Homo-oligomer: A and B are copies of this chain.
Amino acid sequence: MGDQHMGKRPTSHDVARRAGVSQTTVSFVFTGRSGISAATRERVLAAAAELNYRPNLAARSMRTHRTGRLAVVIPVSGLNLFPVLEGAAATARDAGYVVEVISLSSSPEERADDLASVAESGEYEGILSFTPIRAPQPTSTDSAPVLLSLSEFDENMHATGAFSDARPVAEIMEKLAELGHRRFLHIAGPPDYPAAVARRDLYLTTVERLGLDSLGVVGGDWSGLTANHCVQDLPDDTPPLAIIAANDVLAAGAIRGAVSRGWTVPGDVSVTGWDDLIMSAHFIPSLTTVFQDRHRLGSSSMQRLLAAIRGTEPPAQEEALQKVVWRESVAAPRAR
């Protein structure tokens, strides 16, 4: 039954023939153009359903000069960005866009070229990057797609905000100071991560503002082993101490370092992290950390990209994307 059983996809012509209308009318129905009588529209839709017709997007794209496609640039490694991706993809889908995953080369030099060629390909209306990028030089001949970089990994975080918002650092340090802590140490992440820099800067500012003693800033990568060694290198008479680690892995490493030299956590040393990794709640002691709503982050980032593409105002950020989670790794300093 039906005109098409040869495995060939039905076209708007097939639908038109079956519905007894012109192909133009079929197109009008599917593009939602006004001025089609309800009866005609019904006939067309029925015929389309019988044939299992769907518009050929390539053909449509060719006429409209719109691809309806957005690119997502994913990093070579890093956090669990999957929830972010989910949020972004769901939001894009609701807006009628499709999201493509772009994998870049591993060498940094090629990465820039890769990105430039993605931008110039003309295949995307917008690009959302999860990895630090520099906007490619716009070429004269084409209008570049809108490019947005998730600020966690971006150099423009002060402009874009949300992700690398370091404010929880201040909240944590204030609370620790209230508990009686005076001596602090920051274990920092890599200096090329804007979020790491933001946390470090706010640590320094807060030490100043609250008049605390700082043993300084150590570390400089995301390795738990580095954090471990940093703590091993501290003088024996360091405790009581509060360690602000730039993420949970560093916090875990720091705790291992402390425990291995006989310091108790949180008795001698309080430690805080960032990210609320899935195992952080089960760590011994469980980690005080900063939870990030990554799904919502992805969603709101995508909304900003979509707004930029459409030239509309981006929606205001309703609520904080981060929240301090207080757990066992923090306590008042033990009297010595």
Contacts and interface: CB of A to CB of B under 8 A. Distances in A.
Interface stretch (A174-182, A251-259, A316-324): A251-259
Interface in A187-203: none
Interface residues of A, number: 63
Copies of this chain assembled into the complex: 2
A131 to B, nearest CB: 11
A101 B99 contact: yes
Contacts of A24: none
Interface stretch (A51-59, A145-153, A208-216, A236-244): A51-59
A90 interface: yes
A256 B142 CA distance: 59
A81 interface: yes
A249 B283 CA distance: 10
Contacts of A248: 279
A76 interface: yes
Given A277-B279, A278-B277, A74 B82 contact: yes
Interface in A67-106: 67, 69, 72, 74, 76-78, 80-83, 85-86, 89-90, 93, 98-103
Contacts of A228: 282
Interface stretch (A1-9, A32-40, A165-173): A1-9
A139 interface: yes
A151 B177 CA distance: 50
Interface stretch (A15-23, A116-124, A154-162): A116-124
Contacts of A85: 74, 82, 85, 101
A56 B122 contact: yes
A142 to B, nearest CB: 6
B141 A2 contact: yes
9 contacts: A9-B141, A52-B120, A77-B83, A82-B85, A100-B101, A224-B281, A253-B282, A256-B282, A283-B284
- Closest 9 A/B residue pairs (Cβ): A252-B282, A89-B103, A58-B61, A80-B80, A224-B282, A90-B103, A89-B101, A58-B58, A99-B101
Interface of A: 2, 4-5, 7, 9-10, 51-52, 54, 56-59, 61-62, 67, 69, 72, 74, 76-78, 80-83, 85-86, 89-90, 93, 98-103, 120-123, 139-143, 224, 228, 248-249, 252-253, 255-256, 259, 277-284
Given A56-B62, A252-B279, A259-B284, 19 more contacts: A5-B140, A5-B141, A7-B142, A9-B122, A9-B141, A52-B120, A52-B141, A54-B122, A58-B61, A74-B85, A74-B86, A81-B82, A85-B85, A85-B101, A90-B103, A98-B123, A100-B100, A248-B279, A283-B284
